[in-house]
Amino acid sequence: MSEIHGFAVHAAGAHLLAYKYDPGELETHEVEIKISHCGVCHSDVHLIDNDWGISKYPFIPGHEIVGTVVGVGSGVKDRTMGERVGVGWQADSCGICEWCRQGQEHLCAKSQPTCVGRNGGFADRVRVNSRFAIPIPTSLESENAAPLMCGGITVYAPLMNYGVRPSSRVGVIGIGGLGHLGVQFAKAFGAEVTAFSTSKDKEAEAKELGAHEFVNTRDTGALKKVAGSFDFLLSTVSADQDWQAYVSALRPKGTFCIVGASPSPLQIQGASLIHSQKAIAGSNTGSPHELSEMLSVAARHGVKAVTEKFAMAKANDAVTKVKKNQIRYRAVLTN
Ligand code: NAP
Ligand code: ZN
């Protein structure tokens, strides 16, 4: 097979530069995918900047990939040439641990992220274990589906796994790439949905996407006004926040679930969890099975990413806009 061309980062915080690598022989369990679209997740920005100390340079970012299968390893039985598939945060797992055998591959200790120690989707092609190449329902457009592969699953899985239902009062904090999908999925679950945002100008769009209420978190006292209101709060914000105020905004037995990676330790009074039996939780993307389920729910309920398109060669422009919180609501690179 020929070289793969993409855009790589060579040092923390550096600009992406044109880059090529030789992927070698296609392994028996792998598929090769010709990429048509790749979303820009804020996790790509964290990896580019080495915020988590796990980045391995040089690497090609990108883990919200949609494309067509153009190579199938000799041992692959689940994918075929020409199929349209998506790839998210995970490209491989051990396949034999208790978590893999339960279909919870995203919890595998040997889980391999798509662009940590390997090259991701800001490129013309990518290779992954075929188990992590997920067929895309025909009714979804590739451009709107790509952001579902990480942003979508990361908000769908906790709504599902923490039992959100029609009677639930749900708050989604941060209306960015993840949050604007979280509002749509929470509405599809039948919940009453509140959007929490620092951007006043997002109110009308958040309501169009399905939010019943909008809280401008820059307003003094805004969080106090909603004390005791929510069964489930999902924070997609990558910055430190008033954690205690959000715990206070929960109803008894409510859960505050964190999917956005904030830099500092959380400051929360233990006593504020005890009395009303509140919980703090986290959630990590989702399994291949959950990805398939999420895509079919998105197709049936009309959940789709609102996108801003960039040519692949303009990846730096997209990353800069993501850093400035100027994208409405997900940048998608196209080949
Ligand atoms: P994004 O598109 O940049 O959206 C984040 C949103 O957070 C912004 O649009 C903004 O919404 C809000 N925000 C930004 N800065 C803020 C600040 N200083 N204070 C309060 N709110 C602020 O990012 P994303 O792609 O949705 O990703 C969000 C986070 O989730 C990142 O940390 C990412 O690494 C993480 N993530 C986690 C997982 C997982 O598996 N757990 C998966 C994917 C991503 P408003 O304008 O509405 O305030
Ligand atoms: Zn992501």
Sign of CA dihedral 302, 67, 310, 45: positive
How is residue 163 written in tokens?
A: 């039992």
Position 190 pLDDT exceeds 70? yes
What is the residue-wise DSSP string for 149-177? Answer: GTHHHHHHHHHHHTT--TT-EEEEE--SH
pLDDT at 161: 98
Q: Is the peptide bond before 329 cis (omega within 30 degrees of 0)?
A: yes
Pocket of ligand 1 (CB under 6 A): 41-43, 46, 150-151, 154, 174-179, 197-199, 202, 236-239, 259-261, 283-285, 322, 325
SS3 188: helix
Secondary structure letter of residue 123 according to DSSP: B
Interval between CA 207 and ligand 2 midpoint (Å): 24
pLDDT at 158: 98
CB 272 within 8 A of CB 244: yes
pLDDT digits (tens, 9 = 90+) for 256-275: 999 998 899 999 999 999 99
CB < 8 Å & 24+ apart, contacts of 50-54: 50/12, 50/13, 51/261, 51/263, 52/261, 54/116
How is residue 97 written in tokens?
A: 């641990």
Secondary structure letter of residue 3 according to DSSP: P
Q: Furthest-apart CA pair in the chain: how many Å?
A: 62
CA distances from 243 to 234, 280, 281 (A): 12, 10, 13
pLDDT digits (tens, 9 = 90+) for 107-130: 999 999 999 999 999 999 999 999
How many residues appear in the chain? 335
| Shortest-distance ligand to the CA of residue 154 | 1
CB 73 within 8 A of CB 31: yes
pLDDT band per the 50, 70, 90 thresholds, residue 1:
low
pLDDT digits (tens, 9 = 90+) for 143-172: 999 999 999 999 999 999 999 999 999 999
Mean pLDDT of 22-36: 98
φ/ψ bin of 21: left (φ > 0), alpha (ψ from -120 to 50), beta (otherwise): beta
Interval between CA 160 and ligand 1 midpoint (Å): 20
- Buried-state track 304-317, b at ≥16 Cβ within 10 A, e below 16: bbbbbebebebbbe
- Between strands 4-8 and 17-21, the pairing is antiparallel
pLDDT at 154: 99
pLDDT digits (tens, 9 = 90+) for 125-148: 999 999 999 999 999 999 999 999
Q: Is the peptide bond before 58 cis (omega within 30 degrees of 0)?
A: yes
Atom of ligand 1 nearest to the CA of 42: 25
pLDDT at 280: 97
Position 287 pLDDT exceeds 90? yes
Q: Where are the domains of the chain?
A: 4-149+286-334, 152-282
pLDDT at 194: 99
- Of all residues in the chain, the percent with pLDDT exceeding 70 is 100
pLDDT at 174: 98
Supply the Cα-derived Rg of the chain in whole angstroms. 20
| Shortest-distance ligand to the CA of residue 261 | 1
Position 59 pLDDT exceeds 80? yes
pLDDT at 262: 86
Rounded to whole angstroms, how far apart are CA atoms 284 and 282? 7
Please enumerate in sequence order all residues whose Cβ is within 8 A of that of 181, keeping only pairs 6 or more positions apart, or say none: 147, 148, 151, 152, 155, 156, 303, 305
CB 92 within 8 A of CB 115: no
| Shortest-distance ligand to the CA of residue 259 | 1
Q: Which CATH architecture has domain 152-282?
A: 3-Layer(aba) Sandwich (3.40)
Nearest residue to 185 via CA among 330, 296, 309, 67: 296
pLDDT digits (tens, 9 = 90+) for 301-332: 999 999 999 999 999 999 999 999 999 999 99
Rounded to whole angstroms, how far apart are CA atoms 91 and 87? 7
Q: Give the homologous superfamily in CATH for domain 4-149+286-334.
A: Medium-chain alcohol dehydrogenases, catalytic domain (3.90.180.10)
Atom of ligand 1 nearest to the CA of 45: 34
pLDDT digits (tens, 9 = 90+) for 207-260: 999 999 999 999 999 999 999 999 999 999 999 999 999 999 999 999 999 999
Supply the mean pLDDT for the chain: 98
pTM of the model: 0.98
Interval between CA 68 and ligand 1 midpoint (Å): 29
